[in-house]
Structure 1
Amino acid sequence: MSAREIAERVADPELPMLTLADLGVLRDVAEAADGSVTVALTPTYSGCPAMAEMRADVVRSLHAAGYADVRVTTVLSPPWTSDWITGEGRRKLAEYGVAPPGEAPRGPVPLTLGGVRRAVPCPRCGSRDTEETSRFSSTACKALWRCRACSEPFEQVKEI
């Protein structure tokens, strides 16, 4: 199995139903002629606490597959956007009961005080009759929502 195939299978530590490839944070995997491997990751946001665990998991997986010389670099430009989550990743999030993000805003984002946000469909029953209960969840990149139709709480990955 190639180094890329191995790295693509590493699970995200905060959203374990997704791989780093599904999440779109796996930017590149390069195998050199001398057998060394360099993996490039982009954090979902500046200061993402999961980066250290992502790096360690990638190194551990590649070492276990026989790659002795592994380096993981952090790539900050261009910055990660939730648009990089693959279609498969979005499907897995919804299947797991986490609402996938909508399309990230383009260009200037208007500042509103208590403005209207888009309806987030419930990943369990599909209803759009939902309400945000907390702007932050178990991680800064997720929010807590509740479905008024089926009364189920759920998380939503924010658009970034």
Structure 2
Amino acid sequence: MYQSTLVAEKDIMEALELVQDPEISTVSVVDLGMIEGVKIHDSYVSITMLPTFLGCPALEIIKKNVVEQIQSVAGVEAVEVLFKTAPPWTSDRITEKGQKGLKAFGIAPPPKHFTEDGSWHVDCPYCGSTYVTLDNIFGPTACRSILYCKSCKNPFEAMKPISNLM
């Protein structure tokens, strides 16, 4: 006798919460705002994701990790992960939990507001000081910049702000 197992979106989202950014172990792909959609048809699951930056070298690792995690959900027989660029990912999609996770990792979350000239400011994730300078807009990855805190004397990274709320 065949018994159908229904796959619930809640179970898929809980599984996606366990998929961490490969470079930032304190933040999930859900909290980074990368999940654009989940479609379930019987035992087939399709996940649509938004890359934080085009050309991100971690996308294939993220895709592999998502597939492995979703395949562990009871009733799932096939998984498809698609990356799309519309709508574009923005840093506004990072959840509050994601912002806290970035800070816990030593990365300043992107600011919510910009100045009139388009510049932005973040606080030091280590000491909270506002006395920071931008050392290099080009950080170790396309999505991060390098800054320096003049209060605690620590260099740190910050997520680059990309917003459509400006």
1:114 corresponds to which residue? none
1:142 alignment partner in structure 2:
144
1:79 to 70, 88, 91: 88
1:47 and 2:55 correspond: yes
**d(CA) in 2 for partners of 1:95, 1:12:** 14
- Give the whole-Å Cα distance in 1 for the aligned partners of 2:14 and 2:87: 23
Aligned residue for 2:37?
28
Identity rate, percent: 34
Q: Is the 8 A contact 1:3 1:31 kept in 2?
A: no
- 1:110 and 1:45 map into 2 onto residues whose CA distance is 23
Return the alpha-carbon distance in structure 2 between the equivalents of residues 5 and 119 of structure 1: 33
Deviations 1:73-130 (A, max 9, x none): 112111000000001101111122210001276xxx968xxxxx33321111111111
CA contact (8 A) 2:111 2:121 kept: no
For 2:102, what is the secondary structure of its paired residue? helix
Instruction: Render the CA deviation track for 1:14-60: whole Å, top value 9, x for unaligned.
Output: 22210000000011222212x11101110012222211111110001
Over the aligned positions, Cα root-mean-square deviation in angstroms equals 1.9
1:38 to 13, 25, 46: 46
Find the residue that maps to 1:94 and give its secondary structure.
helix
Q: TM-score, structure 2 length as denominator? A: 0.83
**How many aligned residue pairs are there?**
151
Structure 1's 58 and 11: CA in aligned 2 closer, same or farther, altered over 3 A?
same
**Secondary structure of 1:136's partner?**
coil
CA contact (8 A) 1:82 1:104 kept: no
Q: Structure 2, unaligned stretches of length 5 or more?
A: 1-9
CA distance in 2, matches of 1:45, 1:58: 18
2:100 to 76, 91, 100: 91
1:81/1:104 contact within 8 Å kept? no
**Which whole-Å CA distance do the structure 2 matches of 1:96 and 1:70 have between them?**
30
Rounded Cα–Cα distance in structure 1 between residues aligned with 2:14 and 2:101: 19
Q: Which runs of at least 4 in structure 1 moved beyond 4 Å after TM superposition?
A: none
CA separation in 2, counterparts of 1:28 and 1:104?
27
SS of residue matched to 1:37: strand
